Chain A
Amino acid sequence: MDKEFAKPEEYGLADLLCCAASREVQDNEIVFAGTGLPMVAIMLAQKTHAPNLKLIFEAGTLDGRPPEIPTSVGDARCEMGASRSSGLHDAFSIAQRGYVDLGFLGGAEVDQYGNVNTTCIGDYLNPELRLTGSGGNPDINSFARRTVFIMVHEKRRFTEQVSYITSPGWRVRKWPGGETVHRRELYGAAYRGGPSAVISTLGVFRFDDESGRIYLDTCHAGNSPEQVRDMCQFDLDITRVSGETLPPTREELHFIHEVLDPGQIFIPKVKPV
């Protein structure tokens, strides 16, 4: 299969996000993924550079090898080829016990320390919009060594402070007082790491090891670092930009569209001009 990079007219933004996310996975890792694009991304990694990765879905399938993309983590397709079909208690215990290397999640809002909101927009007690709620987002993010978020990039979503911290970033609140502390301080013996990347529709962001602040690593083609900075409500660090996000290869596009998601459930196919 052709490992050459695809030309700009051969792929769409969803393809680029999926491939960028897939490249965050290393072989032999235990990966815990949410529904949607995260699922396609890790299954792409399984088909390409990480054939030995172990998939955990929170509904209870452990080390499954689905032949086609499941509709969500509770789907019958998740169980194909699994080491064990079980339940949520097993999946979350495994995470709390420390087995999970990488979590793949989505979010509605993110702040400069990687705190993510999926609960509500506006004041929690008088919300403008109630969203889905936490689901397993905080649980996976609490215990995985690294967490990668895939998000739509809008200025209102890359915010100074999220409306509600659903999922813990690098600087979190210490209750009952609510003072802001480093995640390491709060999690103690359960500390294993935290958000390692945000892959948005404009670029790939990473976090400074010490301060926990977000910075821009690569821009997707067509965006300048300054343009990406203008799309954040906080002052984005663009001094560490390493270049452009690598485009999908033809091999990756083949797996996405011919093998994993031929029905275009999550990733629309770019029509040839």
Chain B
Amino acid sequence: MSSGKRITLQQAAEIVKNGSSLTFSGFTIWRRPFALVYELIRQRRKGLHLIEVNGGPQTEFLVGAGCVDIWESCWVGHELYGKYGANLSRKVGNKEILVEDYSHAEMMFRFSAAASGAPYAVTQTSLGTDIHNPAYDTLGNAGLRDGRRIPKHKYRFTEDPFFGAGAQVMVPAAKVDIAILCVQQVGEEGTVRVNGQFYSDPEVARAADVTIVMAEEIVPEEYLRRESDLNTITSFEVDHILEVPFGAHPTGMFGRYDVDGAFLKDFYARTRTQEGFDDFAKEWIYGLDHLGYLEKLGWPKMLNLKANTALKYSTGVKRGQ
């Protein structure tokens, strides 16, 4: 049975409007929905509000391209291949972007609250840090806390009323318009099977109003339903699906291909300035479609990144260089 959820890369990008809030699958440099990120940049999307459990190369590409007005998260960089987010740092310095800082666990618990329909989560993490300094409430200082999509407060303090466990922090649910996931397999009706660590994918998919799943392959739904205990996200939580092989490049896909560290290193080195970013985008994004991009990468590179099916990572990649 076909669900009619299948769309193209261009259609997927059109679902994201100027000003939409967005979140992604994956963790730092793994399973980021790059083919769609590139398409958003080609379509010159503006004013995006990224709400991420953690950032990564996808943040840096969208921020560098000027698509993002607000970034709400806890971390951005390229791990071993670029020690911090140079594009975000440049735009923070120039006051071209608003950054709202939470801790990693706070962001996770915020998405978990949104995913369970709760207005907030309660936690004790990060007590005593400047994350809770009221002077550093960026969205509040900018007058953006309308109580609709952007919560009225960055956080609130409370005391445990049940067990007397002391100071607690209430953090608002991370309500987000669209989640874009990049996974190994999706069924025709939307059932998702993530192989390996699923990071925060189940929570972000459920937290978003619209969930788009970009998969290495679309597989028969009944194949996934034969062993439902191996599945990660239910069919009805997914609104749109698309098949995009190598869609996460330059980030990695467990069991399929490794992180393209050389590509990320090159991006980090070349995009410390805006001119450098524009030059990089001209070379790798504008004027290409996904197949053109893969052709430009070339077979030798892609085969080198291909994961060993037993080990789940590539044995050809020289990680230290």
Given contacts A74-B30, A132-B76, A134-B104, contact A88 B199 (CB under 8 A): yes
Question: What distance in Å separates the Cβ of A122 from its nearest Cβ neighbour in chain B?
Answer: 10
Chain B residues with CB below 8 A from A59, complex form: 27-28, 30, 197, 199
Interface string of B224-262 (1 = CB under 8 A from A): 000000000000000000000000000010110011010
Determine the distance from Cα of A128 to Cα of B73 in the docked complex, in whole angstroms: 20
Chain B residues with CB below 8 A from A128, complex form: 93
By the criterion CB–CB under 8 Å, are A176 and B157 in contact? yes
The residue from A86, A88, A183 contacting B104, defined by CB atoms under 8 A apart: A88
Closest to B128 in A: A172
Chain B residues with CB below 8 A from A137, complex form: 103-104
A36, A74, A89, A119: residue with the most chain B Cβ atoms closer than 10 Å: A74
Closest to A174 in B: B128
B85, B92, B198, B318: residue with the most chain A Cβ atoms closer than 10 Å: B198
Question: What distance in Å separates the Cβ of A77 from its nearest Cβ neighbour in chain B?
Answer: 6
Determine the distance from Cα of A86 to Cα of B202 in the docked complex, in whole angstroms: 11
Chain A residues with CB below 8 A from B79, complex form: 35, 71-72, 74
Determine the distance from Cα of A60 to Cα of B318 in the docked complex, in whole angstroms: 25
By the criterion CB–CB under 8 Å, are B199 and A60 in contact? yes
By the criterion CB–CB under 8 Å, are B198 and A134 in contact? no
Chain A residues with CB below 8 A from B261, complex form: 71
Chain A residues with CB below 8 A from B75, complex form: 132-135
Determine the distance from Cα of A181 to Cα of B127 in the docked complex, in whole angstroms: 11
Chain B residues with CB below 8 A from A127, complex form: 92-93
Interface string of B114-148 (1 = CB under 8 A from A): 00000000011111111111111000000000000
By the criterion CB–CB under 8 Å, are B84 and A131 in contact? yes
Q: Give the residues from 148 to 168 in chain A that come closer than 8 angstroms, CB to CB, to chain B.
A: 164-168
Q: Does B304 contact A (CB under 8 A)?
A: no
Chain B residues with CB below 8 A from A166, complex form: 129-131
Chain B residues with CB below 8 A from A183, complex form: 128
Q: Does A207 contact B (CB under 8 A)?
A: no
By the criterion CB–CB under 8 Å, are A72 and B80 in contact? yes
Chain A residues with CB below 8 A from B54, complex form: 135
Q: Does B29 contact A (CB under 8 A)?
A: yes
By the criterion CB–CB under 8 Å, are A86 and B77 in contact? no
Q: Does B203 contact A (CB under 8 A)?
A: yes
Interface string of B247-289 (1 = CB under 8 A from A): 0000010110011010000000000000000000000000000
Stretch at the interface among A18-26, A185-193, A216-224, A232-240: A185-193
By the criterion CB–CB under 8 Å, are A167 and B80 in contact? no
Q: Does A10 contact B (CB under 8 A)?
A: no
B26, B83, B127, B132: residue with the most chain A Cβ atoms closer than 10 Å: B127
Determine the distance from Cα of A79 to Cα of B319 in the docked complex, in whole angstroms: 18
The 20 listed contacts between A and B (C-beta, < 8 Å) are A58-B104, A60-B198, A74-B26, A75-B30, A76-B311, A76-B312, A78-B197, A80-B311, A86-B197, A88-B105, A96-B123, A127-B92, A132-B76, A134-B102, A134-B104, A168-B127, A173-B128, A186-B127, A187-B128, A187-B166
B interface with A by C-beta (< 8 Å): 26-30, 53-55, 73-77, 79-80, 83-85, 88-89, 92-93, 99, 101-106, 108-109, 112, 123-136, 157, 160, 163-167, 196-203, 252, 254-255, 258-259, 261, 307, 311-313, 318-320
Q: Which 6 A-B pairs have the closest CB atoms?
A: A188-B166, A172-B128, A139-B105, A130-B89, A74-B27, A189-B165
Q: List 4 additional A-B contacts (Cβ < 8 Å) besides A136-B104, A175-B128.
A: A124-B130, A130-B99, A131-B89, A133-B101
